Amino acid sequence: MNDFYQINKITLKNPFYLDESVRYIGPINKFKFRCDGLNQTKNYNKLKESLKPFNINLSNIIIKIDKPIYSINRIRTQFITSSNNNEIIWYKYEGPLLGGGQNFLYIYGRKIKLSEWLKKDFMARSNLLYFNLENSY
C-alpha cells in the first residue's frame, strides 16, 4: 500500500499507510462520526448543510481510527471523504504530535481550511465554488 492517496489531481497522505488494523470504507451516511473518540459530527453536519444548496453530497469515506496518542486518552483519527464526482474532498488528519493535524476541504483541487469554509456565507461559498470550477479545466 502506498503512503499517499490520490483523488484526481490531489495527492494526500494515505490514512492506512503502515497500519490497516482499524478502518471503515463505505458510504458516509452509514458511518457514525461519534465513535472511538472521534467527534466530527458537528463538522460533518455543518458541511453537509453548507453543500446542500449547491446539490453537492459527500458520498464515500475511508477512515482510520488509530491507537491513543499523546499522554491523554484520545484516539488519533484520519479520513478522506469526497463528493460523487470528487469536486469536494474533505481531508482530516491528526499527526502524532499535539496540535499536529489538518482539517481541510479541497474544492476542485484548491485547499481551504474547513473552519474557513464553514464561516463563509452562501455568496462567498458560491463564488469560491464557481471560481474554482471555472479555473479547474
- Count up the domains in the chain and report the number: 1
Q: Mark the ranges of the chain whose per-residue pLDDT is less than 50.
A: 1-2, 137
A 10 A CB-CB count for 116 gives 12
Q: Are 93 and 113 in contact (CB under 8 A)?
A: no
pLDDT at residue 137, rounded to an integer: 47
CA–CA separation, 111 and 7 (whole Å): 13
Classify 15 as helix, strand or coil: coil
Category of 96 on φ-ψ map: left (φ > 0), alpha (ψ -120 to 50) or beta? alpha
Stated pTM of the model? 0.75
What residue numbers bound the domain in which 13 lies?
4-134
